[in-house]
Structure 1
Amino acid sequence: MHPTPPRRATTRPARFRRYAVPLSTLTVLSLAGCTLTGGDDESSTGDESSSSSQSAGGEVVLVTHDSFNLPDEVVSGFTDETGYELTVLPSGDAGEMTNTLALTEGSPLGDAVFGIDNTFASRAVEEEILAPYSPDQLPEGAPERALPGDLADYLTPVDFGDVCVNIDRTWFEREGVTEPESLADLTEPEYEGLFVTPGASTSSPGLAFLLATIAEFGQDGWQQYWSDLVDNDVRVVSGWEDAYTVDFTAGGGDGDRPIVVSYASSPPFTIGDDGEPTTTALMDTCFGQVEYAGVLEGAENEEGARAAVDYLLSDTVQAALPESMYVFPVATQTELPQEWEEHAEVAEDPLEIPADQVEANREQWVNQWADIATG
């Protein structure tokens, strides 16, 4: 993190609350798409069900989005506890992954899937790419993130991370520009050329932001809103990484846009090395996003796939999620890093669209958006 200059005291929108419990900092290790086997961790003993599965062994292929990034020791812990060898298969963004799985229905790429979010969940179930499975016991907090009705029989909540507009407060203070407070503000002349967002057709957070604008302005108003954004020189890029780390002024690069679509968990990562407060903050613009795991229909190792879903809800994985994948664990008893206690927030009343409405309209909305935003 880069040191940051002092800034004026600010207050946060009432719709946000702290998600706060302390935790010592976890070591973040990168995980490429590869096979990881268990080591000699003497602390991993497993329960009775784990012991029985150890005798079976075998490979479990977990299909994920490209942002899957649990530490090596956490992934290898799956082998320690179950006896199965986990192979991680990154398959693009959440939307691309879901589309690929739909095209391979009946002959799945793997055994289990992680990373289907609430914007694509109903499609995944309707395309019959998932086998029914729900763990016998969900950790406290997970039932509140479960999908409605029969969808919950196929997909299990693992993490969540509200998609919100982030602003670089240091930039606004330095330039003497009033900070925007609402989605409508982003179309005002003083914010021309200051906003960057990932695209709705190529990015899960980009789609979530599109849905936020539809929830905010309605079926009759969202297209005009996007036309106004385009007229105000919004920059649309392919994915979150480009938007945040390349174009955003506080993203670590040489960006020139102080307003970006990112996550509610982003501000803790702009804390200065000298202990100065985070330089970024959230606008009251959040859309709730939950990621799920499930067993793929036709899995070669269905028992191992179920074990993988269970493991994603374990204390070990839930504790690793914040600093390795920048999302909130669904298990509310999970302790969070100190930086998250101080700076990460959860929208108490996020913008939402029911899953069935998203499924019924997603393709049309994205096509209409593309006509406006990308010509």
Structure 2
Amino acid sequence: MSLNTTEYNNRLMDRRTFIKTAGAGSLIALAGCSMTETNDGPGNDGTTTGTVPGASPPSGTLTVATYSSFTGDGTAGNYLKSAFEAEYPDVTVEFEVPENGVNQYIQRKQSGAGIDADLYVGLNTGELVRADDELDSSLFMHSRDYLGRGYALKSDLQIDPRGRAVPYDTGYISLVYDEGAINAPETFDDLLEPEYEDALITQDARQSDPGRAFVLWTIDAKGEDGYLDYWSQLDDNGVTVTDDWEPAYNAYMNEEAPMVVSYSTDQVYYHGEGVDMSRHQVGFINDQGYANPEAVARFADTDQPALARQFIDFMLWPEHQAQIAERNVQFPAVTDAQLSEEFGQYAYEPPEAVTFDYDRLQGNVDTWIDDWAREVVSN
């Protein structure tokens, strides 16, 4: 199976911007919801819906705010909508794609306006941190401790110490390279060698998830005091910085450079008859990849807290986790997902995962990225 670049773009990346922000504030916002947060825990098969025994079947409309490529034909979002509505016939799932992502809800919260959605799909750690710095009250409510399927979550993917944001998948930032044109660099210092002059395309860390993750990865490798000097040298060696993932990957496919910052699941869509696999090799610098979990969270102002929680639990069922992973071209967030053999063959996990957790990013991430932009993008 193979897709053209446009189709791959639609399914592989959310292409969200770094300036989008996520929920903040207090630990729990459960006023008026105490009767809706009880669940009966996991069943013997581990696939509980988290419903209260004897309760009426869920009903009503659930509004899910998310990014554009989570919806549409063949996407994880439309799969979940169809499956959830089939499981609960009295429920309607509607998607909302805000132009400015979560930042739209931050601004509404700041102005005292209402939130017209029940939950948001697509948060990452940096966005959550930024929102906590910008809002005085909680945009999201606690969810993790009320999930029947919470026990199955991978512990290393937890992005929110307050339990508001629940991971549903993760990607690993890596290099994708043309092995017919270049050898895979083994270290970050290799990228400074003449062999790699004009060889790398990456993305603007202010606007791109993989671009930001790559910068954070260099901070992990070179330290806060050394990463800007490293990027100055990388810039001198001809690194190309594009606005976002899509133009970066398009430039790579147009052979403008033999290497691009992307995801280690690249071969999930680029394999099969007629595909030149030499153009889709995955490289892990220092035998590492930067983990970038995506999470879902309930808005504190939702009038459907129980239904929203039930949808989160539904996303964590093993069979649905497999569908999310394969349609989003990411790895599942639970330990018992039922992945296809083909996915396992072409999706690569790094020997070691690197990531900065919430506490490490809090109070630092904006400064790091702003300093990087002045050093690299402004030149």
Do they superpose with TM above 0.5? Answer: yes
Quote the offset at 1:90 in angstroms.
Answer: 2.5
Q: Distance in 1 between matches of 2:56 and 2:179?
A: 52
Change (3 A) 1:171 1:322: farther
> Are the equivalent residues in 2 in contact too, given 1:168–1:281 (CA < 8 A)?
no
Change (3 A) 1:155 1:53: farther
Quote the offset at 1:315 in angstroms.
Answer: 2.9
2:152 is the counterpart of 1:140: yes
Report the counterpart of residue 111 of structure 1 in structure 2.
Answer: 118
Report the counterpart of residue 94 of structure 2 in structure 1.
Answer: 87
2:322 is the counterpart of 1:319: yes
Quote the offset at 1:232 in angstroms.
Answer: 1.6
2:352 is the counterpart of 1:349: yes
What's the CA shift string for 1:312-343, capped at 9, x where partnerless?
11234211123311111112222323333223
Letter of the 2:294 counterpart: E
Change (3 A) 1:53 1:167: farther
Quote the offset at 1:148 in angstroms.
Answer: 5.8
> Are the equivalent residues in 2 in contact too, given 1:29–1:71 (CA < 8 A)?
no
What's the CA shift string for 1:90-144, capped at 9, x where partnerless?
236xxx5233332222622411011111232334456321111121332534334
Among candidates 121, 131, 139, match of residue 129 of structure 1? 139
Report the counterpart of residue 239 of structure 2 in structure 1.
Answer: 234
Q: Which runs of 4+ in 1 moved over 4 A?
A: 50-56, 274-278
Letter of the 2:210 counterpart: P
TM-score using structure 1 length:
0.77
2:203 is the counterpart of 1:201: no
Report the counterpart of residue 49 of structure 1 in structure 2.
Answer: 51
Report the counterpart of residue 280 of structure 1 in structure 2.
Answer: 281
Q: Distance in 2 between matches of 1:50 and 1:81?
A: 16
Aligned length: 322
Letter of the 2:166 counterpart: T
Among candidates 71, 78, 91, match of residue 72 of structure 1? 78
Structure 1: gaps (5+ residues): 4-27, 33-45, 173-177
* Secondary structure, aligned partner of 1:166: strand
Change (3 A) 1:48 1:239: closer
Q: Distance in 2 between matches of 1:368 and 1:70?
A: 36
Aligned residues with identical type, % of pairs = 24
Quote the offset at 1:219 in angstroms.
Answer: 0.9
> Are the equivalent residues in 1 in contact too, given 2:124–2:159 (CA < 8 A)?
no
Q: Distance in 2 between matches of 1:65 and 1:275?
A: 29
* Secondary structure, aligned partner of 1:347: coil
Quote the offset at 1:218 in angstroms.
Answer: 0.4
Among candidates 162, 165, 177, match of residue 167 of structure 1? 177
Over the aligned positions, Cα root-mean-square deviation in angstroms equals 3.0
Report the counterpart of residue 39 of structure 2 in structure 1.
Answer: none
Quote the offset at 1:370 in angstroms.
Answer: 1.1
2:300 is the counterpart of 1:300: no
Among candidates 87, 99, 117, match of residue 103 of structure 2? 99
Q: Distance in 2 between matches of 1:113 and 1:358?
A: 21
* Secondary structure, aligned partner of 1:262: strand
Report the counterpart of residue 154 of structure 1 in structure 2.
Answer: 164
Report the counterpart of residue 20 of structure 1 in structure 2.
Answer: none
Q: Distance in 2 between matches of 1:58 and 1:282?
A: 47
Q: Distance in 1 between matches of 2:85 and 2:242?
A: 39
Change (3 A) 1:268 1:182: farther
> Are the equivalent residues in 2 in contact too, given 1:197–1:260 (CA < 8 A)?
yes
- Point out the more displaced range, 279-288 or 268-277: 268-277
Letter of the 2:117 counterpart: G
* Secondary structure, aligned partner of 2:342: helix
2:258 is the counterpart of 1:258: yes
* Secondary structure, aligned partner of 2:169: strand
Among candidates 205, 216, 219, match of residue 221 of structure 2? 216
Change (3 A) 1:160 1:48: closer
Report the counterpart of residue 58 of structure 1 in structure 2.
Answer: 60
Quote the offset at 1:220 in angstroms.
Answer: 0.9
> Are the equivalent residues in 2 in contact too, given 1:209–1:287 (CA < 8 A)?
yes
* Secondary structure, aligned partner of 2:81: helix
Quote the offset at 1:259 in angstroms.
Answer: 1.1
Change (3 A) 1:72 1:288: closer
Letter of the 1:80 counterpart: A
Report the counterpart of residue 269 of structure 2 in structure 1.
Answer: 269
Q: Distance in 1 between matches of 2:55 and 2:349?
A: 37
Letter of the 1:62 counterpart: V
2:368 is the counterpart of 1:365: yes
Q: Distance in 1 between matches of 2:237 and 2:119?
A: 43
Report the counterpart of residue 248 of structure 1 in structure 2.
Answer: 252
Q: Distance in 2 between matches of 1:241 and 1:196?
A: 11
Letter of the 2:366 counterpart: E
Q: Distance in 2 between matches of 1:183 and 1:288?
A: 17
Q: Distance in 2 between matches of 1:272 and 1:55?
A: 44
Q: Distance in 2 between matches of 1:74 and 1:144?
A: 25
TM-score using structure 2 length:
0.76
Q: Distance in 2 between matches of 1:73 and 1:179?
A: 37
